[in-house]
Amino acid sequence: MTKKILAFALAALMAFALVGCDNAAEGEVLTMGTNAAFPPYEFVGENNEVAGIDAEIAAAVAEKMGMKLEIKDMAFDSLITAVSTGAVDVVLAGMTVTEERKESVNFSDSYATGIQVVIVTEDSAIASLDDLAGKKIGVQTGTTGDIYCSGDYGEDAVARYDNGALAVAALQNGQVDCVVIDNEPAKAFVEANEGLKLLDTEYAVEDYAAAIAKENTDLLDKFNAALAELKEEGKIDEIIAKYIKA
């Protein structure tokens, strides 16, 4: 009798545990960190929700993994810490793969290319990268644009802003002579603001990828597998084409 009850209780417990597991897997949340001031990769869209290429790619990857995506908006230079401490599971932020960042996080396979370009005012005397010497350069704190410019032109040459929009505002106010930033946000900022243009020059060509905590290799593998399927299905190209007209 006691044995029977025990067996029944155990069976019930196991069934409950299984159901519990199943539900957890289905409803599991993938949290993505980003800085939603980087159009068309991420920006605050309708209903105050983060939209853009990275948000859509992450949602498609999450769906393939049977997870639900949740996005946390934060400063760009907090993202590496946020993902490596587990505050978020993954970062998609038009983030360039660099050797230095690889010391803190793992990167997924790349899903897009970025190019560092220079925004100037329409009447600017700056025509090439050589003309940047001795000029004030606006950058976003902690980005590759910041790292290259402070390395190539010196710390004093660089004025750091929390995001691209603030750097562009500083250019319009005459506080800086140019802004170094990724090409797609650069195009978006030039389109949205009067009196600005892009220099026809490529400062650096880079790979964008998702950043994941070093110890979270399971997620890295799953993310890469889902990403590969989405590339194969043409879904990644489709998402990019929706935001970037060729």
- Report DSSP letters for 59-75, one per residue: HHHHHHTT-EEEEEE--
Minimum CB separation of residue 142 from ligand GLN in Å reads 7
Residue 35 within binding range of ligand GLN, rule CB under 6 A: yes
**Using CB under 6 A, which residues numbered 167 to 196 contact ligand GLN?**
182
For residue 56, give Cα distances in angstroms to 32, 45, 198: 11, 12, 27
CA 128 to mean position of chain CA atoms: 28
7-24: b (≥16 Cβ within 10 Å) or e = eeeeeeeeeeeeeeeeee
Query: Residue 211 is which amino acid?
Result: A
Cis peptide before 40 (omega within 30 of 0): yes
Binding mask 38-67 for ligand GLN (x = CB under 6 A): x-----------------------------
Which letter, b or e, does each residue of 110-120 get, where b requires 16 or more Cβ atoms within 10 Å of its Cβ?
ebbebebbbbb
Closer to ligand GLN by Cβ: residue 38 or 153: 38
Nearer to ligand GLN, 225 or 244 (CB): 244
Q: How far is the CB of 89 from ligand GLN (least distance, A)?
A: 18
Residue choice 84, 124, 140, 183 for contact with ligand GLN (CB under 6 A):
140
Contact track, ligand GLN, 67-106, x by CB under 6 A: ---------x----------------xxxx----------
Q: Which residues bind ligand GLN (CB under 6 A)?
A: 35, 38, 76, 93-96, 114, 140, 143-144, 182
